[in-house]
């Protein structure tokens, strides 16, 4: 389960700034540079959000897709909290300095430096205010089988082995309607959200983590 938790934290943690799933009206597809500019502006203006989520991970090592559900909280800059409810409880918290992955069933916590995890080349780093789409990623458009939805492919200009992000974007609002991350091994992580609420004024305390008594803290290499 460590692998799945870290895949979530390192690849798709911030995609939750997606919008509601209302179907937009079809219109001419803007040029990729304009889509990138407006998408960046949309998420630069998002202060925080909360939502229920369903995550599906498809990996050869899992044998079959693994589906997880829970609730996510996000606040700029660099703060998030994922509370997994099923298939087993775990919590992922980032306070802008440190990333924590807590699995209460195993009484263990993984502690890692936030910046090491969310460098500018990470596929969703721009949502944390760490990266910039235009300067850090090569963007291109993919065919879309959904009317009124633009599919935007983002590949890091450097460190391409990190992964590729594909976003389904509304050309009206520049909200993210869907997200998919594929890592170099071919593992695919997909997210969908419901009951999304933006700019609700989340308290910073929501992103503070303290290991419960009796919990082993495992520090990643390079962690102080």
Question: What is the rounded average pLDDT of the residues 193-222?
Answer: 87
What confidence tier does 186 reach under pLDDT thresholds 50, 70, 90?
Answer: confident
**What does the alpha-carbon distance between residue 67 and residue 122 come to, in Å, rounded to a whole number?**
23
Within a domain: 210: no
Within a domain: 219: no
Question: What is the rounded average pLDDT of the residues 122-126?
Answer: 51
Within a domain: 220: no
State which residues form the domain around 164.
2-198
Within a domain: 211: no
**What does the alpha-carbon distance between residue 142 and residue 145 come to, in Å, rounded to a whole number?**
10
Provide the domain count of the chain: 1
pLDDT digits (tens, 9 = 90+) for 31-70: 899 999 998 888 788 888 888 888 888 987 878 898 999 9
**What CATH number is given to the structural domain containing 176?**
2.50.20.10
Quote the DSSP letter at residue 78. Answer: T
pLDDT digits (tens, 9 = 90+) for 12-25: 443 333 333 334 44
The sign one gets for the Cα dihedral 58, 163, 194, 172 is negative
- Edge-to-edge order in the sheet of strand 176-182: 137-142, 150-156, 164-169, 176-182, 188-198, 48-58, 66-75, 79-86, 90-95, 98-103, 108-113, 216-219
Within a domain: 206: no
**What does the alpha-carbon distance between residue 25 and residue 170 come to, in Å, rounded to a whole number?**
9
Within a domain: 182: yes
Within a domain: 208: no
Residues 178 and 55 sit within 8 Å (Cβ to Cβ): no
What confidence tier does 159 reach under pLDDT thresholds 50, 70, 90?
Answer: low
Question: What is the rounded average pLDDT of the residues 185-195?
Answer: 82
Within a domain: 33: yes
Predicted model pTM: 0.75
């Amino acid at each position: 389960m460590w692998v799945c938790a870290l895949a979530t934290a390192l690849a798709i943690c911030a995609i939750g700034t997606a919008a509601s799933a209302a179907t937009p009206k079809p219109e001419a597809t803007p040029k990729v540079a304009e889509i990138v500019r407006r998408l960046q502006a949309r998420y630069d203006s998002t202060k925080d959000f909360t939502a229920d989520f369903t995550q599906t991970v498809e990996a050869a090592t899992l044998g079959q897709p693994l589906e997880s559900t829970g609730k996510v909280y996000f606040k700029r800059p660099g703060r998030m909290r994922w509370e997994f409810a099923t298939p087993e409880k775990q919590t992922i918290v980032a306070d802008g300095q440190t990333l924590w992955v807590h699995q209460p069933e195993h009484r263990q916590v993984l502690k890692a430096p936030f910046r090491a995890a969310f460098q500018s080349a990470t596929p969703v780093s721009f949502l944390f205010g760490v990266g910039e789409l235009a300067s850090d990623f090569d963007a291109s458009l993919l065919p879309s089988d959904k009317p009124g939805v633009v599919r935007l492919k983002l590949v890091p200009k450097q460190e391409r082995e990190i992964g590729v992000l594909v976003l389904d974007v509304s050309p009206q609002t520049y909200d993210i309607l869907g997200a998919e991350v594929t890592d170099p091994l071919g593992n695919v992580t997909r997210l969908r959200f419901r009951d999304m609420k933006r700019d609700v004024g989340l308290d910073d305390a929501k992103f503070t983590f303290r290991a419960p008594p009796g919990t082993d803290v495992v520090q990643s290499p390079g962690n102080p």
